[in-house]
Amino acid sequence: MNDRKRVLILCTGNSARGQMAEGLLRHDGGDVFKVESAGTEPSHVRPQAIEAMREISIDISSHRSKSVDEFVGQEFDTVITVCDNANERCPVFPGKVERVHWSFEDPAAAEGDEAARLAVFRRVRDEIREHLVGFISSR
């Protein structure tokens, strides 16, 4: 399907929020979207993000943290920033691009024991999914 809408999800580290959003939109959006995620300062996919997604039967264990530089010059229908830092540092993409910004707490910065930190990843995952439901239904 060549008429799929191209979506880039952008965050800072591409380690949690962007990865979860990519997995959710691929899963929930079906064949309507071609989804990528990237970071302004890519690092690695957090194990807690992988676990939070596994709990809802979405496997992101093969994802890798990508730099936004890999996508500069490519055309997207929509660029979604999921943190304020990425929103401020988002490059300009060619063509008519819809920019969407959602500010989510960084679950990677959560403190406490593993259970407490994983609870934050779950909450942020669910908040992202709630926003994506509205995004998908408006397309």
Per-residue pLDDT tens digits for 10-69: 999 999 999 999 999 999 998 999 999 999 999 999 999 999 999 999 999 999 999 999
Q: What angle do CA 109, 103, 5 make, to 5 degrees?
A: 120
- Looking at the structure of the chain, the number of domains it has is 1
Give the C-alpha separation, 84 to 27, whole Å: 25
The one catalytic residue among 8, 9, 10, 11? 11
The one catalytic residue among 10, 50, 83, 132? 83
Residue type, 35: V
Domain range holding 83?
A: 5-137
DSSP label at 92?
Answer: P
CATH of the domain at 99: 3.40.50.2300
**Residue among 114, 75, 131, 121 nearest 98 (CA):** 75
Residue 135 annotated as catalytic: no
Of the pLDDT bands very low, low, confident and very high (cuts 50, 70, 90), residue 2 is low
